[in-house]
Chain A
Amino acid sequence: KNEVEQSPQNLTAQKGEFITINCSYSVGISALHWLQQHPGGGIVSLFMLSSGKKKHGRLIATINIQEKHSSLHITASHPRDSAVYICAVRVLTGNQFYFGTGTSLTVIP
């Protein structure tokens, strides 16, 4: 049983395209994180959400607590956005973390 489901698993886009990655979860959460992992392996936290919407540059993250769903949008995608994007949730009870399996994004010039 996967507490966190991400889609799509793989995504290829042309430079400039608008990209959406989805995350659904099945547990009560205190926070949802979007992480970016580059081919070198390092992880960067992009967003931490507990409600609503956040924007950082070309990246937008939204969360709907009632529907247990979050989306990560990338506007005007660029080859440097190529990475694996991982959704993670912090469970309300017990403070455990669960991770999605990641979305591998390739942006073609």
Chain B
Amino acid sequence: DSGVTQTPKHLITATGQRVTLRCSPRSGDLSVYWYQQSLDQGLQFLIQYYNGEERAKGNILERFSAQQFPDLHSELNLSSLELGDSALYFCASSVVAGGPNEQYFGPGTRLTVT
């Protein structure tokens, strides 16, 4: 158990809908990262927050947005869902913002768009 929690574990929704994925980092970790893992694209970095501020941005679509709240939990919002958004979404956390630092991964949320 990494100490990172993600909810829900599974989510099935229809095209065009909007969903919110939630992540709670390990106690004491200030940084949260979001990743997408699909069958055809593999793992991709979406976005990182550190202590409430956006720190780094990867291949995140405009239909997707994220934020980190004062209690350090983070939410990833996916809107106007398409079939291709079906994937495993992982959240990870670390103590510091950048450079070489250990990340701890949550169990993931499996999103299926039908």
Please state if A99 and B43 are interface contacts (CB–CB under 8 Å): yes
Which of B11-19, B21-29, B75-83, B97-105 contacts its partner? B97-105
Please state if B103 and A33 are interface contacts (CB–CB under 8 Å): yes
- Residues of A within 8 Å of B, CB-based: how many? 23
Please state if A96 and B100 are interface contacts (CB–CB under 8 Å): no
- Per the bound structure, the CA–CA distance linking A41 and B88 in Å amounts to 9
- Give per-residue flags for B23-47: 1 if the beta carbon is below 8 A from chain A beta carbons, else 0: 0000000000101000000111100
Q: Does A97 contact B (CB under 8 A)?
A: yes
Please state if A41 and B43 are interface contacts (CB–CB under 8 Å): no
Please state if B98 and A30 are interface contacts (CB–CB under 8 Å): yes
Please state if B42 and A99 are interface contacts (CB–CB under 8 Å): yes
A-B residue pairs in contact (CB < 8 Å), sample of 16: A30-B100, A31-B99, A33-B103, A41-B110, A42-B107, A42-B108, A43-B90, A48-B102, A48-B103, A49-B100, A95-B55, A96-B57, A96-B58, A97-B35, A99-B43, A99-B45
Residue ranges of A at the interface with B (Cβ–Cβ < 8 Å): 30-31, 33, 35, 41-45, 48-50, 86, 88, 90, 94-99, 101-102
A95-B56 in contact given A43-B90, A50-B100, A101-B42 (Cβ < 8 Å): yes
Inter-chain contacts of A31 with B (CB < 8 A): 99-101
Inter-chain contacts of A102 with B (CB < 8 A): 42
- Residues of B within 8 Å of A, CB-based: how many? 26
Inter-chain contacts of B33 with A (CB < 8 A): 97
A94-B56 in contact given A31-B101, A48-B100 (Cβ < 8 Å): yes
Please state if A45 and B105 are interface contacts (CB–CB under 8 Å): yes
Candidates A44, A49, A96; contact of B105 at CB < 8 Å: A44
Please state if B103 and A86 are interface contacts (CB–CB under 8 Å): no
Please state if B100 and A43 are interface contacts (CB–CB under 8 Å): no
Inter-chain contacts of B42 with A (CB < 8 A): 99, 101-102
Q: Does B48 contact A (CB under 8 A)?
A: yes
Please state if B105 and A43 are interface contacts (CB–CB under 8 Å): yes
Candidates A42, A49, A96; contact of B45 at CB < 8 Å: A96
